Amino acid sequence: MADANAAVAVVTVSLVLLGLLSGLSLSWALLPVAVVVLIFVLASGLKGRDELAHLNVCVLVLGDIGRSPRMQYHALSLSRHGYNVTLIGFLGTKPHQDIIEDDRIDILPISELKGLTVGPRIFRYASKVIFQSFQLFYVLMKIEDQSYILMQNPPGLPAIAVAWAASRFRGNQFIIDWHNYGYTIMALTHGENHFIVKLAKWYEKLFGRFSDNNLCVTNAMREDLRKNWNIEATTLYDKPPPIFRETPLKLQHELFIRMGSTYLPFRPSPDVTKEYMELTAFTEHNTQTGAVTRSAGRPALLISSTSWTEDEDFSVLLRALEGYYYYYYFSPYTLLCGPMPLFGPQKEYYKKLIDSKEFHHIKICTPWLEAEDYPVLLGSADLGVCLHKSSSGLDLPMKVVDMFGCCLPVCAIHFQCLHELVKHEENGLIFNDSKELSEQLKLLLSDFPSDQGKLGIFRKNLRESGQQRWDENWDHNVLPLIKEHCD
């Protein structure tokens, strides 16, 4: 760990430089110096650490808690081992019900501040960072004593520096969980050579070194952190929790009935009626015997969950479906494509693109699902498609982890370290473009719904793989780090 006094000096100088670069006068740019001095005075008067502080852990994400599953899993794992968790983040999407009902987990919401709306763009961005810094620092200093602050990165600006400063003042240990690099995500919008991107990279690289421990999502990222950032990290692969599993037919039918009340593709054909049978597009429920069976000639259910962001080109799937459509033009075959849209920046663009397509036997549905229904739908699907291309090439898509937990074979677009998760021709297929994906869809679905082809083989391999679950993985890799300081 870097020397605290030297690090504080670096923080202060950095804030002054940021203020000058943002166009502030020298007197205003020196304001951070006064703030840091004041903080040290306040910190020196803080009460001694609570005797039970070793049982408290703060889990921090400067983003939507509901859209941060890995941090929710951290919180649940800590609670399972007897720790009291303060989960800090934005309350946008509803967190998982297990989080809400856990007595040991206290959700502390913070506001998503926007900054000033007038002035130069750099000044508006700087004001947002400053406002968020003060809010976050206040919250971290206000909560009861914690043994650890466990923070997600990205987003790390300004959370890394603020969380580190608060941990030093309060005597906490500070862990960064590296999901990706924030500056590479910003580069998708601004370009690699933009001033803001370069500044973010410098910030992330500098302040990331101040943490006491680090976690990361792949061995490739661990090596990159060590080689290029001088940061030692422990690889904690994303693993599916128990809620991601193959869904029993009865639960599938119940979900399809609920979804059919809102989304037409889940309803049976109006030409099909059967006495004493409750029907969906995929299942049949005998109301006299209670038996649930799959519908004869049912469509394949293809799932491609997305957040409508720049690191996922959804048009790749649409072009692949076009090729697949013309291949099966004279066939009665039906395919339902069901992405799970979050409120991402490119949602409206792709919605218009989807609406422009006319596929007679391909029905595209874009439902929004509650956290409890999403794993049920994954466990009911026949094939998953992943369009995530890592901005850094060093992280792995959690959606594929969840799909594998449901024994759902996957077609995934290629990037640098994808092989750490998707084994080509073993648990799925890797493609490079829409043409290749189209050929894979033809191959995997040509004999559907038979389970004797490649699709059935991939699912069988996933069932027999004995894949590790989140709890076992976390206990092995993270619990020792926590116990080292807490006990």
User: Is residue 61 pLDDT above 70, yes or no?
Assistant: yes
* Residue 447 burial (CB count, 10 A): 13
> In the predicted model, what is the mean pLDDT of residues 167-179?
94
Angle at 89 between CA 184 and CA 131, to 5 degrees: 75
Alpha carbon dihedral 48, 54, 56, 59, in 10-degree steps, equals 100
Least confident of 221-230, 259-268, 366-375: 366-375
Residues 62/150, Cβ–Cβ less than 8 Å:
no
Q: Which pLDDT score, from 0 to 100, does residue 35 have?
A: 56
Q: Which residues pair with 197 in a beta bridge?
A: none
> In the predicted model, what is the mean pLDDT of residues 356-372?
79
Q: Which pLDDT score, from 0 to 100, does residue 2 have?
A: 41
User: Is residue 57 pLDDT above 50, yes or no?
Assistant: yes
Please state, for a pLDDT cut of 90, what percent of the chain lies above it. 55
Domains and CATH numbers, the chain: 51-235 (3.40.50.2000), 249-467 (3.40.50.2000)
Q: Which pLDDT score, from 0 to 100, does residue 164 have?
A: 95
Establish whether the linkage from the previous residue to 345 is cis, with ω within 30° of 0.
Answer: no
B/e letters for 373-385, b = 16+ CB within 10 Å, e = fewer, are ebbbbbbbbbbbb
Residues 391/201, Cβ–Cβ less than 8 Å:
no
Q: Which of the pair, 173 or 484, is modelled with greater confidence?
A: 173
User: Is residue 110 pLDDT above 60, yes or no?
Assistant: yes
Least confident of 28-32, 321-325, 414-418: 28-32
Cα-based distances in Å from 181 to 14, 193, 216, 380, 436: 20, 16, 11, 33, 29
> In the predicted model, what is the mean pLDDT of residues 457-484?
93
Q: Which pLDDT score, from 0 to 100, does residue 3 have?
A: 41
Q: Which of the pair, 357 or 94, is modelled with greater confidence?
A: 94
Q: Which pLDDT score, from 0 to 100, does residue 115 have?
A: 72
What value does the mean pLDDT of the chain take? Answer: 84
User: Is residue 339 pLDDT above 50, yes or no?
Assistant: no
| Run of H or E including 142 | helix 121-142
pLDDT digits (tens, 9 = 90+) for 384-417: 999 988 889 999 999 999 999 999 999 999 998 9
Confidence of residue 17 (pLDDT cuts 50, 70, 90): low
User: Is residue 419 pLDDT above 60, yes or no?
Assistant: yes
Confidence of residue 41 (pLDDT cuts 50, 70, 90): very low
Q: Which pLDDT score, from 0 to 100, does residue 327 have?
A: 65
Confidence of residue 12 (pLDDT cuts 50, 70, 90): low
Q: Which pLDDT score, from 0 to 100, does residue 351 have?
A: 75
Say how far apart CA 401 and CA 379 lie, in whole Å. Answer: 12
User: Is residue 122 pLDDT above 80, yes or no?
Assistant: no
φ, ψ for residue 98, nearest 5 deg:
-60, -35
Q: Which pLDDT score, from 0 to 100, does residue 7 have?
A: 47
Q: Which pLDDT score, from 0 to 100, does residue 487 have?
A: 57
Least confident of 85-94, 107-116, 402-411: 107-116
> In the predicted model, what is the mean pLDDT of residues 426-436?
96
Q: Which pLDDT score, from 0 to 100, does residue 50 have?
A: 54
> In the predicted model, what is the mean pLDDT of residues 135-139?
94
Least confident of 54-68, 228-242, 323-337, 432-446: 323-337
User: Is residue 188 pLDDT above 70, yes or no?
Assistant: yes
Least confident of 1-15, 119-133, 271-285, 428-442: 1-15
Please state, for a pLDDT cut of 70, what percent of the chain lies above it. 83
The separation between CA 246 and the C-alpha centre of its own chain, rounded to angstroms, equals 21
Least confident of 31-45, 51-65, 450-464: 31-45
Give the residue carrying structure tokens 């699709």. Answer: 455
Q: Which pLDDT score, from 0 to 100, does residue 446 have?
A: 85
